[in-house]
Amino acid sequence: MLKKIVVSIIIVCFFAGCRPSPVNSAVSQNIDDVMTKNQYILGDLTEEQKLEDYEYMWTNLKASFPFFGVASRLGIDVSGIEKEYEEKIIDSHNDVEFLKYINDCISNFTKIGHLSVLDPQLYEYVKDTFKDYPMREAWYNVINNEKTEKLYLNLLNIEKEYANIIPVQTNYTEGNVITRIIVPGEIAYMKINTFLQDFIQRDYEIIIDFLREVSSYKNLIIDITDNGGGSDNYWMQNIVAPLIKDKLSFTQYLLFTSSPNNDPYLNDSGIFINSKSIDELPYFKNINKDDLKQFTNFFSSEVSVEPDENSIDFNGKIWTLINNNVYSASDSYSEFCANTHFSTLVGENTGGDGIGIDPVYLILPNSGVALRYSMLYGLNLDGSSNQEFGTTPDFKSPDGESPLDTCLKLIERNN
């Protein structure tokens, strides 16, 4: 569960189909020259090859991606998008337009279930991530195929050409952990902007030192609003483990469909062998029966966290602030709180998709373009789709009121 850390001009120009703004005429001409020089970056795919990739994409997504029903209920016209972009693919004049239309097509799904075209910066970040993980061999092999490597190396090289024209703006997260004392001896506050894997070790000491400082406080507020996720290891190691005295755990249920694209991932992760037929799924009151028809199997998984050896002797109440921008690994933390009562959730429903494992990849055969998506359909406690409804807070913030204000009112009321 990874988050890109660089805003890439090549994505804006190649995948989004527009040029950075504002630019002067000379810069604009230089950008056009780079685009023209690289318009056949895929070797000038034929119309037949483009359509073959496009049809391959849709055939495999329909067989493997579990959230088209969710997308439809959120107002996305799935079949209309498929037809619209088929016509655009046919009319595309070069490889650049083809890449743009593939990206535009998938962008209509607003990253529901992590569905997206893998951009060059994220490819560079993840291509070696699974190298030393035996249960992620499929991830490593798929993303490191020769055609995809060549495409993304070319895209990264083109990005460097753009950087010579317009400097690349970076978006490194600095000051990821923000701490403050709201009421001395009573209320401590800690804001965490991202759970990015790279920040785990760096942030650990900051968090531990602060938790020791406020160990006698009556209330600890952990603010993860607008936290788009990163790694589950972050919140397990840096938040939960230091604050618990005994192991906390809960069982989650995940549904999936066996398919040619999903099966290598299901086998390598050990999910398939530990799964059961969907007919054996326990009863859940609010499960979507239409969605249920697409699945072949389910499995249950225990999520657990052991106390850290440097566990803080904290006896106060822990509050966690959430909103709709809490997604992926940060939603996973929210789900943990909801199921184990580690912390009281305040705010609004999260964006979901925190129940599952790393997104998997779908490689288009002619172009080498890599798509990523979540293959697992996680259930909330009541059986509702975690992707569709997210995690529900214990206390919802009224319209126009921030989760922090709601939390402070609750603390005042409980005193």
pLDDT digits (tens, 9 = 90+) for 172-231: 445 899 999 999 999 999 999 999 988 999 999 999 999 999 999 999 999 999 999 999
- CA–CA separation, 101 vs 58, rounded Å? 14
- Name the DSSP class of 304: E
Please, are residues 192 and 227 in contact by the beta-carbon 8 Å criterion? yes
- CA–CA separation, 140 vs 151, rounded Å? 17
pTM equals 0.87
Grouping H, G, I as helix, E, B as strand and the rest as coil, residue 187 is strand
pLDDT band at 134 (very low <50, low <70, confident <90, very high): confident
pLDDT band at 271 (very low <50, low <70, confident <90, very high): very high
Residue 32 corresponds to which tokens in the numbers above?
């056009």
Contacts 24+ apart (CB under 8 A), 82-86: 82/58, 85/54, 86/51, 86/54
pLDDT digits (tens, 9 = 90+) for 200-211: 999 999 999 999
- CA–CA separation, 14 vs 388, rounded Å? 30
C-alpha to C-alpha distances, 369 to 92, 143, 341, 348, nearest whole angstrom: 16, 10, 42, 36
Average pLDDT over residues 93-106: 93
Considering only 81-85, 162-166, 309-313, which range has the smallest mean pLDDT?
A: 162-166
